[in-house]
Amino acid sequence: MTIAAGTKLGRYEIRSKIGEGGMGEVYNARDEKLNRSVAIKVLPASLSQNADRLRRFEQEAQAAGALNHPNILAVYDVGAHEGSPYVVSELLEGETLRERLGKRLGMHSSGVPLAQRKAVDYAVQLAHGLAAAHEKGIIHRDLKPDNIFITKDDRVKILDFGVAKLIEPVNENLAQTDIATRKVQTDPGTVLGTVGYMSPEQVRGKHVDHRSDIFSFGAVLYEMLSGQRAFRGESAVETLNAILKEEPRELTATNRNIAPALERVVWHCFEKSPKVILPLLSIPQEMSDVDMARTLIGSKTLAVWQPSLSDLRVLVVDDEPDARELIAAVLTGRSAEVVSVESAGEALEEMERQRFDVLVSDIGMPLMDGYALIEKIRQLPAERGGRIPAAALTAYSGVEDRMRVLSAGYQIHIPKPVEPAELTTVVANLAERYAKPLAI
């Protein structure tokens, strides 16, 4: 029920209604004590019927308010009015990302994609905000374009931290999908919007952590780049099934100019297993879209959750500068010490100067290819690196190609373009299995 202008909610006086959504109504109000304008979101009274749930919500909202991060909506206070919980926050001017994308109501609506550089800018700000919350152990649980606000000066603000606590099941045996099904019957527009951004863990009703937010982050980034939702179906059930079992349409199908490195960031966010989803730490604010994507993939900014490569020395050989740079970034991001060269000849020279734990070499190189390189290396004595574990990089992945790679002297084949998660796993496994002595 709409609250009339002039109504007092504690020290706050309602001035006007700003808008409403599935999670409640938002009002422009005045903080009479501090003499400032604020926004008050009043949530449905039904969400506060369980005292323990309301207490957890208040604790999390207060924790989010203590973050004081420029990319998170500043929360000033929480309370209740006639049984309805409310959140007092800073008053923003601008629009939600949903509005910016030009979305129309309905699951199959097509919006307008953002310019790639703008999408990257928003993604960087969004990642900063999520990282700040995750470092404090605060999970959003309902990240979507509707909960991302773009101010008039183009600053990203994440809305509704803590609100999702109110819709979590009190009974741990109750699956999240049960809640979504119930809400579909009463408020399909809201739930269908939320369902499309849920992580597989949420769909299965399992415990969620920061990696669930990162899956949702990937869905938002996908939509910013394509103008389309990553997971869509004729019903909520079909959408949930798509999240669990299907992959979104290739981004290049809608925009051929998307940087491949940026697209890989999106796909890694969509990993179905939470063990290989990207944790967010920190992202440099000013860099090109491709450089940002490389940083996201290869460093501790959005480093892939993989075994640490600390203390490993890796020799990377690839005649393609971009590929060489990206591979080096991925490995150094996992704390490996990397030497990268562009030719087989330089690789042999480096092996004369120093010892390495793992070799990662391209196959298709001029003058001396990867096959000739590994043949020369295997002729070296063990103390000079003749038994170094090696991975071959090649765009050819047929059975014959893989057999040739193994018979030439490499331990494993890595297909191009390189997937950071696979690369770090391969290097870690090679070092563990071949480079380190076995304990007896």
Nearest to 117 by CA among 255, 324, 281: 255
The answer to whether 401 is a known catalytic residue is no
| SS3 at position 272 | coil
pLDDT at residue 316, rounded to an integer: 96
| pLDDT above 60 for 438 | no
Annotated domain spans of the chain: 8-90, 94-298, 313-435
pLDDT at residue 346, rounded to an integer: 96
Distances (CA, A) of 286 to 192, 330, 429: 35, 20, 35
134 vs 55: CA distance, rounded Å: 20
pLDDT at residue 59, rounded to an integer: 66
pLDDT tens for 52-63 read: 666 666 766 666
3.30.70.100, 3.90.25.10, 3.40.50.2300, 3.20.20.70: CATH of 313-435: 3.40.50.2300
Nearest to 312 by CA among 349, 338, 342, 333: 338
| pLDDT above 50 for 197 | yes
Q: Which comes out higher in pLDDT, residue 82 or 295?
A: 82
Q: Which comes out higher in pLDDT, residue 375 or 112?
A: 375
Question: Architecture of domain 94-298 in CATH?
Answer: Orthogonal Bundle (1.10)
99 vs 88: CA distance, rounded Å: 23
Arithmetic mean of pLDDT, 38-66 = 72
Q: pLDDT-based confidence at 411, cuts 50/70/90? A: confident
Q: 8-90: which CATH topology?
A: Phosphorylase Kinase; domain 1 (3.30.200)
Determine contact, residues 316/341, Cβ cutoff 8 Å. Answer: yes
Q: Which of 31, 77, 121, 142 is catalytic?
A: 142
| pLDDT above 70 for 350 | yes
pLDDT tens for 308-331 read: 577 899 999 999 998 898 899 889
Q: pLDDT-based confidence at 270, cuts 50/70/90? A: confident
Q: pLDDT-based confidence at 163, cuts 50/70/90? A: low
Q: pLDDT-based confidence at 164, cuts 50/70/90? A: low
160 vs 146: CA distance, rounded Å: 10
| pLDDT above 60 for 435 | no
| pLDDT above 70 for 23 | no
pLDDT at residue 47, rounded to an integer: 64
pLDDT tens for 198-249 read: 888 888 888 778 888 889 999 999 999 988 899 988 888 888 888 888 888 8
pLDDT at residue 437, rounded to an integer: 40
pLDDT tens for 363-406 read: 999 999 999 999 999 999 988 899 899 999 988 766 667 778 88
**Residue that has been written with the tokens 């925009």 in this structure:** 255
| Encoded amino acid at 341, one letter | V
| pLDDT above 80 for 172 | no
Most confident of 12-16, 115-119, 302-306: 12-16
pLDDT at residue 212, rounded to an integer: 87
| SS3 at position 416 | coil
**Residue that has been written with the tokens 């909506």 in this structure:** 73
Arithmetic mean of pLDDT, 335-341 = 92
